[in-house]
């Protein structure tokens, strides 16, 4: 993990600061420098908070990150971190929660984390959101870095005073620290899981014992059922013995005994089953034989009863139906003979009926002929009447024909008569309208000429307006510049007052500082003030020595000597005086610059006024202008009056111009009206009027022609009489033609009727001849069958149902033959059925069925018990196999639990073993650097494991020079720092290795270098160089001058009153 860019706003002592780590990372090693209490550690707190929402040490509360100077306000506190891990870049933005001043409610922390792409200047060019909540960001950071917050604190920063804790801590504290770092509590959780598994398997064994006990009892009961009277007492007692004792005494051996006994009984039961299986078919065959004999005996008895019943039916049929069937047969034969004459009779009857119809038709034709002749006479009379009306109709027809043209144009003539008067009136109105338009046109032209004469002076007005506008702009510009002179003069006077006040403050501060430092204070800068505590040594120096403050040679010795304790008490006061002096001096310089700018602006405006206005010829300076206020005020008053004058003139000219513009618009409007009147007049005088005159002339001509030719003055009377003449003529023509057509039609009908009458007479005569020829044969047939009328005989033949009578007779014959056949068949069947004793057969059948049922019941019962014993045997066999596996698992878990719980050769629990393993790796890694830094003198060792289980984490130091083992607490201050540094770096190496080779490219080391001598410091620098060569970027929090010189890249923190700022030096 390598930080790229950090922005902190309202965090700790910082208002809004940014750190570009790329500027110092190029050096590999850089110094984080600043006064005590300036807020250096807040830089690491901000990085840690961005990643884990916590501080870089567990002793500081992350809620105190928000700056004190924004408490009680709504200003936000922000931390933004861009960092690199592997080949990817990530950006985290966190806005801290705070209490709102207006309602004391706590705001919610706003945060987001992105995977980003950056350009060569590390500017974000693309981003992808990974998380947007506190918990999700913490989880995402852990998944990327693979470090908990405690592990991160150990590998990212070695905090001030804390990395000695691992060296000097008691064993219990060291164990607690290592447990947290390496998260070995999970091994205790593993022990708890194994213990739970141990208890669970023990409960499972008890449960399996209960189930096995129940299954064994079921098997005993099933075996008792199989043995009926429990004759095999020895086997049952053997099972009971395997069940004896408590459940926890039952084991796989007991189950195996029960399984063997159950298999023995299963074998015996299977042998009995096989015997029953062989006996059942024989007994079933015997039962079936008796059932067949009983069925044959019952069949013979049924056949005898059927034969007797059929013989009774035969005798009954012969006795009751024989006579009636003979009579029916004779009647059928008679009807068949009559049926042979049905055709001849039918033809004869039809011929008589046809003769009667022909006679009726002849009578009807005669009557029709008479009626038609009478109708013809009526039509001829109607025709004669029409001939008498014909001359009058012809005259009317001639009149209508002569006036046909006017009758066909009757609508046109009516329209002309209806429109001639309104059209004449409209033509008169149009002439009056033309006269009015002409008069209006003359009036408009007169008005336009008047307005044109008034608008001749427009150009003069525009010239006046332009002149007044330029003068007005000039005076307004002068007024603006004069007011700027007033404002600059006033500001300059205010700044003069401020300058005097600041000058008094500087004199007082100089006096106070000279009383403490003397004249030398003016050469001291801000960094040298931090060394004022050493003034005592300066005062003790002799002449020509080098000053420890300004590094110049001392020309004379101070006469006054101050006590060192007194100087320390004045530490805060002098620092504050010095800061105030420099801040006040800075304000004085800033104020002088501002006054110079005002003076330059004042002179520029004054020159501009003199250049643009010859009357403004006065001598003014910004220093004296506030004494000559009346002069500027007079000019302002004069300019203001001229502005008002020209504004009034501008308003007058503008009003005149607006009025002339209105007149011009009015002229345009009037011209448009004149044009419109011209168009209307042109239209009225050309097209509409001519068309109206032509139409009126045409209408009058049409009316004159009508009245002259027809001699009618009233068009409606003309139409009425012409319509009546036309209708009467058409009606006469239709009636005359209809009368002639009817006479002709009825003449043709009479002719057709006469022709039909003659044909009917011929057919009737031929039919009479045919009837006479057949009459003798028909009478003979009637006489033979004793009928008087052929129709009666024919009806009787048709009504007789010979087929039905014959079906009745045939059904009788078939029924008689069927009864006879059934009797013979049954008698024949009776001969083929054996004659068994039914009562004897039933007795033997009952005995066999009873024996078969006993066999079947025994077979079913035995099969059921055997199936149940098989299921119980399989169940017990499964339980036996499970029991063996459970016993094996129990032995394995119990052995594992005891081993991990300290019952081993080392008497160590699992967690203690893991802690010892990691701790030894830490010591191995730390010894590589410790031997290098101490010239192979010191080496970490730890005691052997004792019987307490928690030992093995003690640290001792082997002194190779004195060949003795020393406690870590006996090391000197510098040696302790080296040992602690090596131990901390070793711990960092092991954590990184433990987390799978994570990339942690940055390491911060806080304080401790001031206790080292030059030789040791040089060795420490060598170790730092090795870390840098391994790719690490190292930040050193140190005030040691030699380290600053060796590593010039710095993140410098400047402390101010109430806040701090950051400067990058590289």
DSSP notation for 259-282: HHHHHHHHHHHHHHHHHHHHHHHH
Higher pLDDT, 985 or 525: 985
**Which range has the worst mean pLDDT, 233-242, 336-345, 508-517, 971-980?**
233-242
Q: Calculate helix-pair angle for 838-900, 252-339, nearest 10 degrees.
A: 140
pLDDT digits (tens, 9 = 90+) for 6-60: 999 999 999 999 999 988 888 888 888 888 888 888 898 999 999 999 988 877 7
The answer on pLDDT for 513 being more than 80 is no
Closest among 23, 28, 81 to 50, alpha carbons compared: 81
**φ, ψ (nearest 5 deg) of residue 117:** -115, 140
Q: How far apart are CA 1043 and CA 1018, in angstroms?
A: 9
Nearest CA to 751 among 372, 432, 441, 477? 372
What was the pLDDT predicted at 91?
97
Distance CA 153, CA 48 (A): 8
Strand partners, 85: 88
935: left (phi over 0), alpha (psi -120 to 50) or beta: left
Average pLDDT (109-133) is 93
* Cβ proximity of 499 and 595 under 8 Å: yes
- DSSP letters for 39-52: -SHHHHHHHHHHHH
How confident is the model over 216-255, as pLDDT tens digits? 777 777 777 776 544 455 555 555 555 544 444 677 777 7
Residue spans per domain, the chain:
2-169+907-1065, 184-334+807-901, 481-628
Flag whether pLDDT at 560 surpasses 50.
no
Give the model confidence (pLDDT) of 719-739 as tens digits.
888 888 888 888 888 888 888
pLDDT for the residue numbered 566: 47
**Residue 256 — pLDDT band, cuts 50, 70, 90?**
confident
Query: Are the C-beta atoms of 19 and 34 separated by less than 8 Å?
Result: no
The greatest distance separating any two alpha carbons of the chain, rounded to the nearest whole angstrom, comes to 200
pLDDT score at 114: 96
Residues 6+ apart with CB under 8 A from 941: 923, 955, 956, 957, 958, 965
Mean pLDDT of 436-461: 75
Q: Provide the pLDDT for residue 558.
A: 43
Q: What are 996-1022's pLDDT values in tens digits?
A: 656 677 888 876 676 677 777 787 888
DSSP 83-121: EEETTEEEEEEEE---B-TTT-PBPPPEEEEEEEEE-TT
643 token code pair: 């502005």
**pLDDT for 945:** 45
Q: Among 163, 345, 311, which Cα is nearest to 987's?
A: 163
Q: What is the pLDDT of residue 113?
A: 97
Distance CA 528, CA 787 (A): 174
Query: What's the pLDDT band for 585 if we cut at 50, 70, 90?
Result: confident
pLDDT of residue 996: 63
Q: What's the pLDDT at 16?
A: 93
Question: Tokens standing for 99?
Answer: 């209490």
Q: What integer pLDDT is reported at residue 567 of this predicted model? A: 45
Most confident by average pLDDT, 44-48, 461-465, 710-714: 44-48
CB environment 925-947: b (16+ within 10 A), e (fewer): bbbebbbebbeeebbbebeebee
pLDDT at 498 over 80: yes
Q: Residue 94: name the closest of 28, 32, 138, 36 by CA.
A: 138
Global pTM? 0.41
Q: What is the pLDDT of residues 901-938, one digit of tens each?
A: 777 777 778 878 888 888 889 899 999 988 988 889 99
- Of 236, 363, 374, 446, the C-alpha closest to 757 is 363
Q: Return the half-sphere exposure (C-beta side, CA atoms, 13 A cut-off) of residue 410.
A: 16
- CATH fold group of domain 2-169+907-1065: Rossmann fold (3.40.50)
Model confidence at 551: pLDDT above 50: no
Closest CA to 942 of 926, 931, 929: 926
Mean pLDDT of the chain, nearest integer: 79
> Pairing relation of β-strands 78-85 and 29-33?
unpaired
Mean pLDDT of 508-520: 72
Contact 19, 5 (CB under 8 A): yes
Q: Are 223 and 258 in contact (CB under 8 A)?
A: no
- Kindly report, residue by residue over 59-81, the tens digit of the pLDDT: 778 788 899 888 888 899 999 99
- DSSP labels, 320-384: HHHHHHHHHHHHHHHHHHHHTTHHHHHHHHHHHHHHHHHHHHHHHHHHHHHHHHHHHHHHHHHHH
pLDDT surpasses 60 at 1049: yes
* Residue 63, both tokens: 């809620």
| β-strand partners of 977 | none
At 59 the three-state DSSP class reads: coil
What is the rounded CA–CA span in Å between residue 1042 and residue 1019? Answer: 13
DSSP state of 616: -
């Amino acid at each position: 993990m390598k930080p790229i860019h950090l922005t902190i706003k309202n965090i700790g002592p910082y208002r809004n600061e940014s750190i570009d780590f790329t500027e110092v990372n190029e050096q590999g090693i850089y110094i984080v420098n600043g006064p005590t209490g300036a807020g250096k550690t807040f830089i690491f707190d901000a990085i840690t908070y961005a990643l884990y929402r916590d501080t870089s040490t567990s002793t500081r509360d992350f809620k105190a990150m928000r700056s004190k100077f924004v408490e009680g306000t709504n200003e936000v506190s922000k931390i933004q971190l861009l960092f690199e891990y592997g080949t990817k870049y990530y950006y985290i933005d966190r806005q801290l929660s705070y209490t709102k001043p207006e309602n004391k409610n706590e705001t919610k922390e706003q945060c987001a984390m992105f995977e980003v792409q950056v350009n060569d200047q590390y500017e974000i060019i693309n981003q992808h959101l990974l998380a947007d909540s506190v918990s999700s960001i913490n989880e995402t950071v852990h998944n990327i870095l693979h470090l908990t917050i405690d592990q991160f604190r150990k590998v990212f920063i070695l905090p001030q005073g804390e990395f000695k804790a691992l060296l000097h801590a008691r064993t219990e504290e060291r164990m607690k620290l290592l447990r947290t770092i390496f998260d070995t509590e999970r091994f205790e959780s593993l022990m708890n899981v194994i213990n739970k598994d141990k208890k669970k398997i023990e409960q499972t064994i008890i449960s399996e014992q209960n189930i096995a006990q129940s299954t064994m009892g079921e098997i005993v009961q099933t075996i008792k059922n199989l043995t009926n009277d429990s004759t095999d007492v020895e086997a049952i007692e053997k099972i009971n013995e395997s069940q004896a004792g408590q459940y926890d005494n039952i084991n796989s051996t007991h189950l195996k005994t029960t399984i063997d006994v159950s298999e023995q009984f299963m074998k015996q039961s299977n042998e009995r089953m096989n015997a029953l299986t062989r006996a059942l078919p024989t007994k079933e065959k015997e039962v079936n034989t008796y059932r067949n004999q009983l069925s044959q005996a019952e069949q013979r008895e049924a056949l005898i009863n059927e034969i007797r019943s059929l013989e009774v039916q035969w005798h009954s049929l012969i006795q009751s139906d024989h006579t009636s069937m003979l009579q029916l047969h004779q009647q059928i034969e008679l009807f068949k003979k009559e049926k042979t004459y049905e055709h001849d009779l039918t033809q004869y009857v039809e011929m008589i009926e046809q003769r009667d119809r022909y006679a009726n038709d002849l009578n009807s034709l005669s009557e029709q002929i008479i009626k038609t002749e009478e109708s013809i006479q009526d039509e001829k009379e109607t025709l004669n009447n029409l001939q008498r009306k014909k001359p009058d109709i012809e005259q009317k027809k001639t009149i209508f024909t002569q006036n046909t043209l006017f009758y066909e144009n009757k609508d046109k003539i009516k329209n002309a008569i209806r429109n001639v008067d309104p059209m004449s009136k409209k033509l008169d109105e149009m002439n009056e309208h033309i006269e009015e338009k002409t008069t209006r046109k003359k009036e408009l032209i007169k008005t336009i000429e008047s307005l044109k004469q008034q608008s001749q002076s427009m150009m003069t007005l525009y010239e006046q307006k332009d002149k007044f506008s330029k003068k007005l702009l000039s005076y307004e510009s002068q007024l603006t510049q004069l007011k700027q002179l007033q404002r600059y003069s006033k500001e300059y006077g205010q700044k003069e007052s401020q300058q005097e006040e600041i000058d008094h403050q500087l004199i007082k501060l100089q006096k106070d500082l000279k009383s403490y430092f003397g004249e030398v204070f003016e050469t001291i800068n801000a960094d040298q003030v931090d060394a004022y505590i050493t003034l005592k040594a300066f005062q003790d120096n002799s002449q020509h020595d080098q000053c420890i403050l300004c590094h110049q040679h001392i020309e004379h010795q101070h006469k006054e000597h101050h006590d060192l304790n007194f100087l320390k008490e004045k530490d805060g006061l002098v620092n504050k005086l010095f800061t105030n002096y420099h801040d006040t001096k800075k304000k004085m310089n800033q104020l002088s610059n501002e006054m110079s700018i005002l003076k330059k602006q004042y002179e520029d405006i004054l020159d501009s006024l003199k250049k643009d206005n010859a009357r403004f010829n006065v001598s003014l300076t910004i220093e004296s202008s506030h004494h000559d206020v009346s002069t500027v005020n007079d000019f302002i008053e004069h300019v203001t009056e001229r502005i008002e004058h020209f504004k009034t003139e501008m308003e007058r000219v503008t009003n005149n111009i607006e009025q002339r513009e209105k007149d011009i618009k009015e002229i345009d409007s009037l011209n448009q009206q004149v044009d419109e009147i011209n168009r209307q007049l042109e239209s009225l005088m050309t097209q509409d009027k001519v068309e109206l005159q032509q139409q009126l002339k045409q209408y009058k001509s049409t009316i004159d022609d009508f009245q002259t030719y027809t001699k009618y003055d009233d068009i409606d009377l003309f139409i009425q009489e012409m319509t009546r003449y036309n209708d009467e003529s058409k009606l006469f023509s239709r009636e005359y033609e209809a009368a002639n057509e009817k006479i002709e039609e009825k003449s043709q009908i009479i002719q057709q009727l006469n022709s039909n009458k003659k044909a009917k007479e011929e057919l009737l005569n031929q039919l009479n001849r045919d009837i006479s020829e057949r009459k003798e044969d028909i009478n003979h047939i009637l006489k033979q069958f004793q009928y008087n009328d052929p129709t009666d005989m024919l009806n009787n033949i048709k009504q007789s149902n010979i087929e039905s009578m014959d079906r009745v007779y045939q059904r009788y014959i078939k029924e008689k033959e069927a009864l006879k056949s059934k009797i013979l068949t049954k008698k024949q069947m009776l001969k083929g059925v054996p004659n068994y004793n039914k009562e004897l057969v039933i007795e033997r059948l009952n005995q066999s069925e009873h024996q078969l049922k006993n066999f079947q019941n025994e077979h079913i019962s035995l099969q059921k018990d055997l199936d149940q014993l098989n299921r119980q045997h399989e169940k017990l066999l499964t339980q036996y196999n499970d029991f063996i596996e459970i016993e094996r698992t129990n032995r394995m878990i119990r052995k594992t639990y005891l081993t991990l719980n300290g019952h081993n050769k080392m008497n160590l629990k699992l967690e203690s073993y893991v802690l010892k393993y990691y701790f030894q790796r830490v010591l191995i890694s730390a010894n590589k650097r410790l031997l290098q830094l101490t010239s192979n003198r010191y080496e970490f060792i730890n005691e052997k494991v004792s019987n307490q289980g928690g030992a093995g984490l003690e640290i001792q130091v082997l002194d190779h020079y004195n060949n003795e083992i020393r406690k870590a607490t006996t090391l000197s201050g510098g040696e302790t720092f080296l040992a602690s540094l090596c131990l901390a770096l070793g711990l960092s190496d092991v954590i990184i290795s433990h987390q799978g080779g994570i990339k942690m490219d940055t390491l911060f080391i806080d304080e401790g270098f001031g206790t080292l001598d030059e030789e040791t410091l040089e060795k420490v620098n060598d170790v730092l160089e090795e870390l840098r060569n391994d790719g690490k970027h190292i930040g050193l929090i140190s005030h040691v001058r030699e380290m600053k010189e060796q590593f010039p890249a710095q993140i410098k923190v400047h402390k101010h009153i109430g806040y701090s700022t950051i400067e990058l030096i590289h």
